Chain A
Amino acid sequence: MQIEKEPKILAILCKWCSYAGADLAGTSRFKYPANVRIVQVPCSGRVDPIMIFRAFVEGYDGVMVSGCHPGDCHYGTGNYHARRRLAVARRLLEFVGVHSDRMHFTWISAAEGKKFADDCSRFTEQLKGLAGTEKTLAREEIAT
């Protein structure tokens, strides 16, 4: 069971749309890989890029952030702010050396269970393709 080689993915999902979408994927039995670890946040606007930096530094292979489609955010403008923050965060991480395919920022509504499952599988395959090509930001092991 080479769990270690399997890419670890952090998915930060907004509670009103994407998390509900992930639920729907589960209840309607859509298959999606188990490497995805889901964190629920009230809104994609709550996602502070420092969470994404910390995820990469802690050793995650990929980070996925998803919120409601622009226009139907439960709090009105959360995802508009998120779009700008995630765009800048992505450019910074890419500039510092994180491969562009390691980040997947998208919008998934509560009805798009299938899209969530497909996105997760495609993202995992994408990361498998990257595995071993280059080191992410993951920190060095603790000196024993």
Chain B
Amino acid sequence: MNKWHELKAADLKNFLSQLADKWQVWVPYRNDGKWEFAPYDERRELEFPGSVIHVSVKQLLFPKRRPLATYDEESTWSVKSVTPGEKPRIIMGLHPCDVAGISYMDKVFLRTEHKDALYEAERKRTVLVGMLCTEMEKTCHCTDRGLAPDSAQGMDVVFTRTEDGYLFQSLSEKGAPLLESEYLRATDDKPDKKEWPHGKYEIASPEEFMEMYDDGIWHELSDICLTCGICTYECPTCVCFLVADEKFKGKGERVTVWDSCQLQSYSRMAGGHDTRKTPASRVRNRTLDKFAYSHLRYGQISCTGCGRCVMVCPLKRSFPQLGTRVTERIRNKKKMTRDATAPAKED
């Protein structure tokens, strides 16, 4: 186990400027009330957030509009693929739930034999410097999803805030070069392990969720949902996209664009056939994808418990609460059959 390295709070600015020579350093800034990841700039006041922030981390590796290739009409269809960026990059200040989201995205884009070359290049050139959470927001429930605010899973370098500075530890050979700075001194003390509350939004096993396909609960759950796309766009693991071809003044561009299974246009086909016409079928598809399909496909459920879907839902519908209500329905059904009483006809 490599040792923890200590950084004085005062040296933070110099340390980051030193990193900025060789890497593009991205850090979270507060921009009139809203958070955003932006390149490091000494002039801007920097303060690492102690818990999850409402910003799209997915945007850094899989932008909402990503050009793949450009082509111009005159030269009979010469297609030039977009060349990925090479400059190495550090993303600093990610929390455990963000990094878990990124490792899920890796499975989606890099698992099949058709790897996504652009995403792979982005991942190669990026060093993930994760930060352990110091507190849990009201909406956080990573402890119910097999994660913890102080788990360093999937990070290249982990750091945490202490009274007089920061503690860094490199967890991969990609992260090691970052800690060779003279501002860091090896030390023996370690961040203390805390006991985190859990049990807020518990969910049943993926197999149990799969049996809920024909259940009547989905109409109840989607009665006030307006199926907009906010919860999918803010979710770190919702990476459904559409491939769009665009043309302007004879020059064209092929792009991938974020899409959402909640929108009506998602599965509407030419000729009018639409497999997910009703809001209930769309809410069911997303809930099952999060808690069942992703596990059967990639071995990891695609909800990291960050709670962003709760923060952004305009109707305060709280998507994790749906998972809990379905789990309650599963538990009731199981109790019913175990009591060997004939289950009353559900509504």
Contact = CB atoms under 8 A, between A and B. Distances in A.
A143 B66 CA distance: 10
B248 interface: yes
A1 interface: no
A5 interface: no
Interface in A119-144: 139, 141-144
Interface in B228-271: 246, 248-249, 251-253
B255 to A, nearest CB: 10
- Which of A58, A141, A143 has its CB near the most chain B CB atoms (within 10 A)? A143
A58 B246 CA distance: 13
Contacts of A141: 248
B248 A144 contact: no
Interface residues of B, number: 8
Interface of chain B, main secondary structure? strand
Interface in A47-66: 58-59
Contacts of B253: 142-143
A54 B252 CA distance: 17
Nearest to B246: A142
B272 to A, nearest CB: 23
A139 B70 contact: no
B335 to A, nearest CB: 56
Contact of A139 (B67, B248, B251, B252): B248
Counting contact residues on chain A (CB < 8 A from B), the size range is: under 10
Contacts of B248: 58, 139, 141-142
A51 B248 CA distance: 16
A71 to B, nearest CB: 41
A6 to B, nearest CB: 16
Nearest to A139: B248
A129 B70 CA distance: 35
Nearest to B67: A143
Nearest to B72: A144
Contacts of B251: 142, 144
Contact of B70 (A58, A59, A142): A142
B254 to A, nearest CB: 11
A85 B100 CA distance: 51
B72 to A, nearest CB: 9
B118 to A, nearest CB: 13
A142 B69 CA distance: 11
B253 to A, nearest CB: 5
- Which of A59, A139, A141, A144 has its CB near the most chain B CB atoms (within 10 A)? A144
15 contacts: A58-B248, A59-B249, A139-B248, A141-B248, A142-B70, A142-B246, A142-B248, A142-B251, A142-B252, A142-B253, A143-B67, A143-B70, A143-B253, A144-B70, A144-B251
